[in-house]
Structure 1
Amino acid sequence: KSNEAAELKPTDDKAYIELGRSYQDQGKPSEAEASFKRAIELNPKDDEAYIELGKSYRDLGKFSETEASFKKAIELNPRNDGAYIELGCFYLERGRPFDQNKFSEAEELFKKAIELNPRNYRAYLELWRFYREQDKFSETEELFNKVIEINPRDDGAYVELGLLYQDQDKFSEAEASFKKAIEFNPGNVGAYIYLGWLYQKQGKLSEAEASFKKAIETNPRHDGAYGALNVLYIEMGKMELARKYAKEVRDLRLNFYYPITVSNYQKFKAILDKRGITYVCVQYPMRNVEPLKKIFQGNDKGIIFVDNEEIFKDEVAKYGRQNVFIDMFGGEFGHCTKKGNRLLAENIANVILKEVFGK
C-alpha cells in the first residue's frame, strides 16, 4: 500500500514517509533512508521526515548523521516532542559508553518532551529508564505512577517496574509486575523471559523452565528465549536438553544479525585494516562463535576470533550462573561478576598469546 501511495502521489512527501516506514518495518534501512531523503527533497521543512531519516541512519550505524538529523527536526519544529525523545534515546545509548556528557543531556531532552506534551507517556517511560540505570529508585517509582495514570494498561511499564523491583531484590513485587504485564499483553515475550530469570535467580527452576517455554511458544524465533533455556538446562545438569537449545539458538543467529550490528563490526574492521591493526573479535560469553564469524565471511583476514562459549558453560555447569553473571540481560549471558570478568580476560589473553606470539 505504501508503494502504491508513492506511485500515485510522486510529489507527496507524506507518501514517501509512509513508504520509508514500511521499509523500516521490513528491516530494510537503506531503502528507508532513500525514501525519507526523497520526502525531504519534496518538502525540506518536514520535521517528521528528518526524525524518520535519523532512525534509518541509526539502524545503519551512521551515528553522526543520526544526531544531525534529529537536531534538524528540532530546528525545524522546536515543539515536536517526539524529536526530543528520539535524540534523548540516541544520547542514552551512544552516550553511555562513549560520551558521558551526552548521556547526561538525555535527561534534559526527556524533560523537555514532557514540558511540551505532558501526556506523552513515552517521554516519562524513557526518563524512567534513564533514572533506573542510575539506581534512582524514588524518581523511577514516581514516574511509574505518572505513566500508569496516562496509560493504565501499559504492559511495557509493568515490565520496567518489575526490573526496578528485581534490582532491589523485591522478588514478590517483581513477580507481580511481570505477571501484570503478561495479563495486559499475553504476547509480551520479554515479560515471560524476565519472569523466568526472576524464578531462576530464586532457585525456582521448574517455574523458570515453564516461563521460558511460554516465551518460545509466544515467539518461536526469539533467540533470547532459546538462549535462556540453554543456560537453565546447563544449571540443572540436563546437558542433552542444553545442547538441543544451544543448537536452536545457534541456527537462529546464523540466519540473522541486525543490520546495525553487521555494519558496526564491518566498519570497525575497515578502520583497523587501514591502520594495519589486528582485529581481536570477542564473542559474548556462552554464545557460539560461528554466527560472529559469518559476519566476516570472505573478509576474515587479520581477525583473531575469541570463543567464550565452552569456558563459561563449564563454569555455569559447575558453580551456577550467578557465579559469573550479575544478570542475564543478553538471554544466556549478562554483565559479569568479578569472577566472570577475570575468566573473560584470561581467555582473551590466552588466545592472543597463542595466535600472535605462539605461546
Structure 2
Amino acid sequence: MKIFIVSEKNYEIKQVRDFLGRLPFGDFGKGNTLDFYQEENPKTALEKLEKNAADGIGYDLIIVSQKMKALPGIRFARSVTARKTIASAPVMLVVDNLNKELVTEAMGAGVSGFFTMPFVMDEMRTALMRLATILLSRARKKISDAMEQAKATSAKTANPEILEQIHRKGTDVIERCAMYAPWSEEVHTALAAMHIEHGDFAFAIPKLKLAIKINPNNRDTHRQLLACYKKNGQAMEESATLKKLLATNPSSPDLLTKLGDSILHEGNYKEAALYFKKAIANHKPGDPARLKAKSHVGLGKAFMAEGDELSDPAKHEMAKNEFAAAATTDPTLVSAYLNLIASYKKLGLQAEAKAAAAKAAAIAPDNAEGWLDLFSHYLGEGEVQKAKFSLQRAIQYDPENQITLVRAGQMYFLNRMFGEAAGLFEKAAEVNPSDTRTFNFLGICYRRMEMFEQAVANFKKAINLDPEDYNLYFNLGRACQQANDTAKAREAYATALKLNADFEEAKEALASLSPAVPAGAEKAATAG
C-alpha cells in the first residue's frame, strides 16, 4: 500500500510511519507491504499529488495533519476532494483530539477517518478498520446500484456478461478495502459473499479462511467454508478431518464409509476402496441396513471408476456385484439401483438394466421434472456425482425436452461447470435451433473455457436470430478481444453502441482497445 503523509512536523511523520509499520499487515499476506512517501509543505504536497497523478502515479492512502499553518488538514482534504485526478485516495486526518464539530467539518471536506495523537497501537488499528468499513459500505452501494441499473435498463433478461463485469469490478474494489485493514473480518466475509453469490467458490475459500483466522469462533463462516468446499468439489480438508476422527474410532463403519466417499470424490478410487472394504468388514449384524448398503455402493463406485479408467470389464463386473449387494441389503436405497443400472449398461446387459430401472422407478421420481428437481438439490448440496446421475435419469425420460436441457444447463452454468453446461446447451440447440438464448449461453460457456472459435461461432448464430440485441454484439466483442482479434472486437463493440448509444460497458470496452492503425500506416511501418 502506497501511503502519502503530509505534516509540517517531521517527528509527526516519523511517528505515523513507525506505528503503521508495527501493525500486522504482513500477517495476512506477503503482498501487504507499506511504501511511505512524505512532504512537509502542504502546498508542495498538493502539487506533487497532481503531478504524479498526471504521470499515472497514484496513492492508496493520504494521511494529513490538521495542525499545519500553511494549510490546515481539513482545508487540504477539501482541496484533494476537489481535484478529480487525486480524489480517489481516501484521506485520514491526524488530530490532537476529536469533537463533534471537528468530525462534522472534516467529513464534509472529504475526510474518511482519523488518527488521534498521541498514537496508540490498538486505536490506530481500529481507526483503519473503521476506514475499511466506510469504504466497504460505499463499495456495496455502488455495486448494488450498478446491478439494479443493469437489470432496469436491459431490454431483455439482464446480460450475464454485464453482470459478470459488475461483479469483477466490485470484487476488485472490495479487495482494495481489505488492503487498509487486512485484519478486518468483515471485509473478508464481504469478499467471500461476493464470490459465493457469483458461484466462484474457489475464490471464496481463501477469504473465508482469512476471516476464520481473525475470528475462529464465527460458526456461520465455518459453515460457509464447508459449503464452498462441497460446492467446489474439493473434499481434501474434509477427508483430513475424517481421518483425525477415524484415529479415535478406527473400526467405525460410518466413519470408514464417509472417508471412503470423501476420498473417492477426490478421485483416488484405490484408496477409497480400501476404506469401503474396511467398513464392510467391520459391520455388525445389528448395524442399520442403509449404512451397510451405502458401504457396498461406495465400493462399487470405486470399482466402476477403476474400470472406466482401465477399460476393464472385470472391474465393472465387481462393481455390479457390490451394487447388487447394496440393493439386496436395502431394497429402498435409490442410489443402489441407479448405480446398478449404470454397471449393467457398461456390461451390455440391457435386459438387466431395464429390470433394475423398473425397481428404481418404484421408489424414485417417475418423471423428468422430479429427477430434475433431485438434480438441482444434489448440485446445490455439492454432491456432484449424485446430481449427474439424477440429470441422466431426467434426460432418459424425455431426451427431446428443451426445458429440461436448458434448465439443467443453466444450473451447471451457475455452478461454473461450463463444460457440462455447454454439452446440454448443444443438445438443446439441436432440439430447437431457433432460441437465441441457447446460442448466447453456449458462446459464454465456450468463452469462459477459452474456446474462442466456438464462442464466436455461437454468438454469431445468436446474432443471426436477433440482430437487434446489442448485448449479443458486446458478448461477441469480448470473445474476439480475448482471441486477440482486435479488429473484429472493435467492430462488434461499435455495432453494440450503434444499437444502444448509452451502453457504458461497450464504451469502456471499445476505449480499452489499442487505437486502430490508419489506412496505409501499417504497410509503411512494415516497409520501414
Category of TM-score, reference length = shorter chain: 0.3 to 0.5
Give the TM-score taking structure 2 as reference length.
0.32
Q: Which has the higher contact order (CA 8 A, sep 6+)?
A: 1
Q: Which has the larger radius of gyration?
A: 2
